[in-house]
Structure 1
Amino acid sequence: MINTIIFDFGDVFINLEKEASIEAFKNLGLDGPNEDLLAHNDLFEKGKITELQFIETFQKYIPNASIEEIRKAWNASIGDFPLHRLEFLQMLSSNYRLFLLTNTDAIHINRFEHKVGMSFYSDFYRCFEKVYYSYEMGMRKPDPEIFNTLIRKHDLSPKRTLFVDDKKSNTDIAEYLGLQVWNLKVGEEDVVQLFEQKHLPF
């Protein structure tokens, strides 16, 4: 029986508006992401480069854009966080061990916290035994070691642990490592349907 749930963050709890960010960068003169930017995003999400180094990568391609304009365009992807998902999580937290495991960066987390306010994000974080951000861990999903780190640190039983993520590459690795998984389909499913989708006992 499942006793632990590891959740992704983006598009599971908070809605992401990736197209809004792409559009904002287009307005600054950047015609979509490229291999260099994607590689630096990977490094930034692993905490291997600083915020300034990450922003300067964009400035190579849009030299007339200011640091603040780039930061704003990058954060355009941070959407709303529906209250019903927080309430659902609060209900879960009294019955399961909960963890948050997300590929993210300091810019996005600062934006999220500023957008929802201290009361909301405090209530959110309080639901979890531990919150794991990739940029603090030095690794990101789907690296198997990121899952093994949680399993070891918290003495989790993979077969009694459910991992919820919207990216199949992440749930595939977790499943390979023996975890139960739900590859949530964004736009079709909502995390509050957890019991319907996974038939978990409450």
Structure 2
Amino acid sequence: MINTIIFDFGDVFINLEKEKSIEEFKKLGLDGPNETLLAQNDLFEKGQITDVQFVESFQQFIPNASIEEITKAWNSVIGEFPLYRLEFLQLLSNKYRLFLLTNTDSIHINRFEHKVGMSFYSDFYRCFEKVYYSYEMGMRKPQPEIFTTIINKHDLSPKRTLFVDDKKENTDVAESLGLHVWNLQVGQEDVVNLFDQKHLPF
């Protein structure tokens, strides 16, 4: 019987507009992500470089773009957070131990909080026993350590814990550690249909 659920954030609760972000960067002269920027993003999501260092890393490819323009383009990925998902989460929080575990960075979290407002994000955070951001933990999914850290810190039983994430590489690692998983298919499934997933051991 499941008593704990660990949720991802992006494309599970808040919609991500990845194509829009790519388009915004194209307007600034950047033709899609590259190895250098992906490596910088990895460091940024682990909290190993600062906001300024991350944003400035774009300027070697788009030297005419300002810090503000780059930040705006970076944040254009943050889409809507439908109220019905928050209401669903609030109901769940009365029955399960809930945790949030997301690969993210300080710029995106600041944008999310500003976009939805204090009342909304406070209600959201209140649903969780603990919110885990990769940039605060110094590691990111799918590193096994990020899961074992939470399991050990909160004395969770993997066989009674469900992990929900839209990326298969993340759910694969969680599953290898003994957790139940739901690899949510973005655009085809919605987190509020959790109990419709007949294969989940509720």
With structure 1 as the length reference, what TM-score do the two structures score?
A: 0.98
Residue in structure 2 matched with residue 8 of structure 1 by the alignment: 8
- C-alpha RMSD of matched pairs (Å): 0.7
Q: How does 1:44-83 map to 2 (within 5 A)?
A: 44-83=44-83
For 1:146 and 1:180, the matched residues in 2 are separated by 16
Question: Alpha-carbon deviation of 1:78?
Answer: 0.2
For 1:127 and 1:145, the matched residues in 2 are separated by 24
Q: How does 1:118-197 map to 2 (within 5 A)?
A: 118-197=118-197
3-state DSSP class of the match of 2:182? strand
Aligned residue-pair number: 201
3-state DSSP class of the match of 1:61? coil
Equivalent residues of 1:194, 1:200 under 8 A apart = no
For 1:43, the aligned partner's letter is: L
Deviations 1:99-148 (A, max 9, x none): 00000000000000000000000000000000000000000000000000
For 1:161 and 1:100, the matched residues in 2 are separated by 13
Question: Alpha-carbon deviation of 1:77?
Answer: 0.3
Residue in structure 1 matched with residue 92 of structure 2 by the alignment: 92
Unaligned runs of at least 5 residues, structure 1: none
For 1:114 and 1:55, the matched residues in 2 are separated by 19
Residue in structure 2 matched with residue 108 of structure 1 by the alignment: 108
For 1:76 and 1:94, the matched residues in 2 are separated by 33
3-state DSSP class of the match of 2:59? helix
Q: What is the percentage of aligned positions where both structures have the same residue?
A: 82
Question: Which structure 1 residue ranges, 4+ long, deviate > 3 Å from structure 2?
Answer: 198-201
For 2:201 and 2:21, the matched residues in 1 are separated by 36
Equivalent residues of 1:104, 1:135 under 8 A apart = yes
- CA, structure 1 residues 87+200, in 2 after alignment: closer, same or farther (shift >3 Å)? farther
For 2:162 and 2:77, the matched residues in 1 are separated by 27
For 2:112 and 2:9, the matched residues in 1 are separated by 11
Residue in structure 1 matched with residue 33 of structure 2 by the alignment: 33
Question: Alpha-carbon deviation of 1:200?
Answer: 5.3
3-state DSSP class of the match of 1:101? strand
